[in-house]
Structure 1
């Protein structure tokens, strides 16, 4: 077996893997990206497309801010258009006590760059007259927006390939080992790839690889519930989502310039991990229409022309796994982004490339350390680190 060598191997071709490959190659590393199916096929290509920072854990905003800076530069960086529109993002609520939570988030020092503005009462109705009478208040983020998730990972992969990266689709990993200081990755068709550094960005399947290095993560796969309406006149440029602790009330939507309204939210559906299939439940659509009637009266009358789902991965604490292995030198992870990784994608790639190529990163990622799952004795230490980067709201 003739080994195929590179400086860094990346396993998983979603937006995290593709962007990491691009930024690593840009830093002068030779990179091979292995993807079992097609680039961006699973979570990265089927999500809602939110490019939002507000509403994230405060300790994640430093990473989100770095990513936001890259989103603005992507056309020049990757020579591609991801249909990013900084349209603003409105986080609304149905209860007065929830407004206080939105205000507390907006007042946090970590959220300063978001320039959040709280609306309520008559001011809310004047600024957003489309909202239903049940909406009591909201937090407006003027710089957030949305993009087309179907375009992102493939665009990063193409840009990485132009820089010299090797992108291998339809290439399934069978075994991963570290032999004599070098990672050996064997594929199901008998190929052998070797590299001194390995980055695992395999989404919902990443724990199958991390546990080969005695670092299992309790990932829960889930399928988002997405639908899209017929095109109607473009009138709703701002992304709008509901802030609530009631699962059925969770809904968010965005209208694209072509006129279609993309809707997400509601109860997620367990995917078939063996056959790699996700499902959309009919009851999800019924709930989405009920919630849209409350949020934007009249929207529930629009025709739905397509529904879909995908395969995302969720951790018990709703935070990703990102950074160095706690067990193996040269091994790195970036997975488990819990349905809110799309906005972070460029920043994750940039940070991981910096960490892998230089040994450190200027952006704090300590709350995402894999050792919080694999080495329980470190949990208090990691929790202290998490609190130091911002209270979770």
Structure 2
């Protein structure tokens, strides 16, 4: 996907560091806004969290003030074939959250009321009504909350498709371009890569996922961010009968598993406990014990899961802030600097909306999507760069 850069210095309106779905979508939408764009990715577009996640395109269960962004993103997911000219296997199959305990059911019921002003309508089914509506579920489900317009997509396709669309639209997309240094002059950001290339622009967006913390700190903005490795897997193919994504609505981390079936018949699953990450080697630890711990909770949702063979497991590198909310919007210290990283394992659905919203900011300095809860200014006092 990379384009050869013949000059040692290239200039654009904006440089985006990080080619996950956030950076690639921003590059695409910024080109639609008429900005010249350079997208720099240290390895391959979509290689890390954006390409290794579960593929959930869900709105329900989100932090309520995040719903305007999620709603914008959901509208874009439905229009992606026209917008970017590629099919990323988005399927609006619906999304179900199931609870087995009364206190978890009460949270689902309260959320269904609280999300209505944000334009999200959920269907609630209690007891036997839940199993009648979703017969694959265990008979002791206490409550099921259904979001009919949510669904899932293929994470291995989405970010690369945005990267290719951005390139077709005129963006410079440079892979294998590891950033070694970023400085600020009176007018521009100067970004240098390990192989000696130099890029300049008056605007800079950092979308480097779990590595974003280090880059923000270089500008005197520190934040608590922990890299974690999710546990995912896929089963052998079986007849296709589970249409919606199904998640275990529990506030106990180990119980928070989820699954979806693709039309080829395989069941993709994830959730539960996370493992550790080494950012220097870019390696996520895959813990076999976490797979074992997932099984009883997956079987609690879907009793037939116990009879299936697991054919592959994997992990990725995700960045988690202490308050489980992303860093998104302008820097609190440096004019022209913007952030979009730290999406805490639930950023895939937001990707198109993040790209469009960041393009608003880059082009005009403002957006109609409320971003105050995600400002980097909410964290501790700045550190010296």
TM-score by length of 1: 0.94
Is the Cα contact below 8 Å between 2:67 and 2:118 reproduced in 1? no
Is the Cα contact below 8 Å between 1:134 and 1:295 reproduced in 2? no
The root-mean-square deviation of aligned C-alpha atoms, in Å, is 1.2
In structure 1, what is the equivalent of residue 182 of structure 2? Answer: 176
1:276 aligns with 2:258: no
In structure 2, what is the equivalent of residue 166 of structure 1? Answer: 172
1:294 aligns with 2:300: yes
Aligned mates of 1:114, 1:344 — CA distance in 2: 15
Deviation at 1:308?
0.1
Deviation at 1:285?
1.6
In structure 2, what is the equivalent of residue 107 of structure 1? Answer: 113
Q: Does the residue aligned with 1:233 lie in a helix, a strand or coil? A: coil
Is the Cα contact below 8 Å between 2:179 and 2:191 reproduced in 1? yes
1:187 aligns with 2:190: no
Aligned mates of 2:128, 2:203 — CA distance in 1: 57
Going from structure 1 to structure 2, the CA distance change for 1:31 and 1:251 (only over 3 Å counts) comes to same
In structure 2, what is the equivalent of residue 379 of structure 1? Answer: none
Is the Cα contact below 8 Å between 1:249 and 1:266 reproduced in 2? yes
Q: Deviations over 1:264-301 (max 9, x none)?
A: 01110011211101122111221222112211112122
* Aligned with 2:376 (options 358, 370, 384): 370
Q: Deviations over 1:26-57 (max 9, x none)?
A: 11101000000110011000000000000000
1:5 aligns with 2:29: no
Q: Does the residue aligned with 1:329 lie in a helix, a strand or coil? A: coil
* Aligned with 2:270 (options 241, 247, 264): 264
Aligned mates of 2:33, 2:59 — CA distance in 1: 27
In structure 2, what is the equivalent of residue 389 of structure 1? Answer: none
In structure 2, what is the equivalent of residue 216 of structure 1? Answer: 222
Residue pairs, 1:217-366, within 5 angstroms: 217-366=223-372
Aligned mates of 1:131, 1:231 — CA distance in 2: 19
Deviation at 1:110?
4.8
Deviation at 1:374?
4.2
Q: Does the residue aligned with 2:112 lie in a helix, a strand or coil? A: helix
Is the Cα contact below 8 Å between 2:57 and 2:153 reproduced in 1? yes
Aligned mates of 1:312, 1:109 — CA distance in 2: 27
Aligned mates of 1:60, 1:286 — CA distance in 2: 33
Deviation at 1:134?
3.3
Moved more, 291-300 or 349-358: 291-300
Aligned mates of 2:147, 2:116 — CA distance in 1: 14
Q: Does the residue aligned with 1:236 lie in a helix, a strand or coil? A: coil
Q: Deviations over 1:164-223 (max 9, x none)?
A: 100000011011111122100111111110001000000000111111110122110001
In structure 2, what is the equivalent of residue 391 of structure 1? Answer: none
Aligned mates of 1:189, 1:138 — CA distance in 2: 53
Runs of 4+ in 1 over 4 A off after TM superposition: 109-112
How many aligned residue pairs are there? 376
In structure 2, what is the equivalent of residue 39 of structure 1? Answer: 45
In structure 2, what is the equivalent of residue 66 of structure 1? Answer: 72
Deviation at 1:112?
5.0
